[in-house]
């Protein structure tokens, strides 16, 4: 069923809450933390107003929020939650348990830097710290994508070949609180697209004995981990299938990443999240000057589409891989590490540099991205070589 477009304005948090309203999940346990607090607030108001019949569970901590979400999912419910930063860190144990239990939980993660020193602004250190927890991770450039990505999340998570939790990420305050133009989709086509959740197996299913979370001895645990890894591999195909069906009803096209003026680009920036809007403006300005600049905007980080990204970048002369997260590896950030490995495997010979940017909400201007492209042109000519990865916009 084709959906009618409804033009309006709302923040990223409102957009996710509207997606939740259309999905009408069974259970939402949550604990407030900036900048994701508005999402459970909006949902609680919707429940109080009789707009949805979701069971909202106020809990005493984020660890409890994920525990309750996991329990609800194990009992056969469609369960969601939302958090940010230190809240995600407090969930740490349960992130791994949820994923290894193969529970199709969906979480709205509003990205915020982890404490050290205390900061409440946009950074990817929270989600990137959880990158190996076994969750699918999908990132949003703007409010529209936060909304659309959340609508697709349950279809991916609940697919019989996947059964993994999904976190839908957006940048704290930059998109979560900023009001932008957005296109909403009619309720009925979306409800039909998302569908009802009727799991074949779950913890409290009548007449079906099941053990959940038992101790796994060495004879069996490795096989479980391989099955989990295979589900993540399977997710690549499912993500694209769901995106194709979503495009058919909305006209919105999604994949693992977006290629912006990349086809003939000599110089490319690779980035995640809201900075990509700034990067597109920089690309447009440079194109007017005759410089073949391009952008690869990463949407899906887990499963990591390294081979696909490397092939998209294979004709570039120089590449800047932008990380809004410091891994403290003395070698750069997580996107840089994984993509450079993929470039090596695919024998891409472009010069490449990993760039730290926007940490703890540090502003990134069009001029800053233009500076990165200037680095790339000099690198391609052999006029510039970095001995260590640079920080963009760092004060002396």
- Domain shared by 127 and 171, yes or no: yes
Instruction: Please tell me whether residues 241 and 370 are part of one structural domain.
Output: no
Side-chain-facing half-sphere of 7: CA atoms under 13 Å: 1
Q: Are residues 142 and 261 in the same domain?
A: no
Same-domain pairing of 238 and 278: no
Is there a single domain that holds both residue 205 and residue 313?
no
Question: Across residues 116-121, what is the average pLDDT?
Answer: 92
- Same structural domain for residues 244 and 373? no
In a domain, 390, yes or no: no
Do 241 and 270 share a domain, yes or no?
A: no
Q: What is the DSSP letter of 214?
A: -
In terms of domains, do 184 and 159 share one? yes
pTM of the model: 0.97
> End-to-end alpha-carbon separation of the chain, Å?
56
Average pLDDT, the chain: 97
Euclidean distance between CA atoms 65 and 269, whole angstroms? 37
Domain-located, residue 66: yes
Check whether 183 has a pLDDT greater than 80.
Answer: yes
User: Two tokens at 343?
Assistant: 């470039």
Q: How much is the pLDDT for 211?
A: 75
Asked whether residue 210 falls in the same domain as residue 277, the answer is no
Which residue range forms the structural domain that includes residue 243?
5-250
Q: How far is CA 344 from CA 268, 309, 314, 352, in A?
A: 17, 12, 11, 11
| Domain termination residue (choose one: 231, 250, 269) | 250
In tens, the pLDDT along 17-75 reads: 999 999 999 999 999 999 999 999 999 999 999 999 999 999 999 999 999 999 999 99
Strands (E), 12-155: 27-30, 55-58, 80-83, 106-111, 136-139
């Amino acid at each position: 069923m084709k959906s009618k477009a409804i033009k309006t304005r709302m923040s990223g948090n409102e957009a996710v809450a509207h997606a939740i309203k259309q999905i009408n999940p069974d259970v939402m346990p949550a604990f407030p933390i900036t900048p994701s607090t508005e999402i459970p607030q909006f949902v609680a108001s919707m429940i109080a107003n009789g707009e949805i019949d979701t069971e909202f569970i106020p809990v005493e901590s984020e660890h409890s929020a994920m525990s309750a979400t996991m329990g609800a999912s194990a009992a056969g419910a469609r369960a969601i939650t939302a958090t940010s930063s230190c809240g995600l860190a407090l969930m740490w144990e349960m992130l791994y348990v949820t994923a290894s239990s193969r529970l199709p939980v969906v979480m709205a993660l509003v990205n915020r830097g982890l404490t050290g020193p205390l900061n409440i602004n946009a950074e990817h250190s929270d989600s990137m710290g959880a990158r190996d927890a076994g969750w699918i991770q999908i990132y949003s450039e703007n409010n529209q994508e936060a909304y659309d990505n959340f609508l697709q999340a349950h279809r991916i998570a609940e697919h019989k070949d996947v059964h993994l939790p999904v976190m839908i990420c957006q940048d704290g305050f930059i998109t979560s609180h900023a009001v932008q133009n957005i296109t909403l989709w009619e309720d009925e086509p979306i409800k039909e697209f998302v569908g009802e959740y009727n799991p074949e197996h779950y913890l409290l299913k009548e007449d079906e004995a099941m053990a959940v979370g038992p101790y796994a001895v060495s004879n069996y645990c490795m096989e479980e981990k391989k099955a989990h890894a295979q589900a993540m591999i399977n997710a690549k195909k499912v993500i694209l299938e769901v995106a194709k069906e979503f495009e058919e009803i909305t006209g919105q096209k999604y994949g693992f990443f977006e290629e912006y003026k990349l086809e003939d680009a000599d110089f490319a920036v690779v980035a995640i999240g809201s900075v990509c809007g700034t990067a597109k403006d920089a690309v447009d300005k440079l194109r007017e000057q005759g410089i073949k600049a391009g952008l690869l905007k990463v949407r899906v980080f887990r499963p990591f589409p390294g081979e696909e990204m490397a092939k998209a970048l294979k004709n570039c002369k120089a590449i800047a891989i932008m990380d809004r997260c410091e891994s403290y590896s003395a070698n750069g950030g997580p996107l840089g590490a994984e993509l450079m490995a993929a470039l090596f495997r695919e024998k891409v010979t472009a010069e490449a540099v990993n760039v730290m940017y926007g940490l703890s909400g540090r502003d990134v201007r069009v001029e800053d991205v233009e500076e990165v492209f200037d680095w790339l042109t000099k690198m391609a000519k052999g006029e510039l070589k970095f001995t260590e990865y640079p920080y963009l916009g760092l004060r002396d």
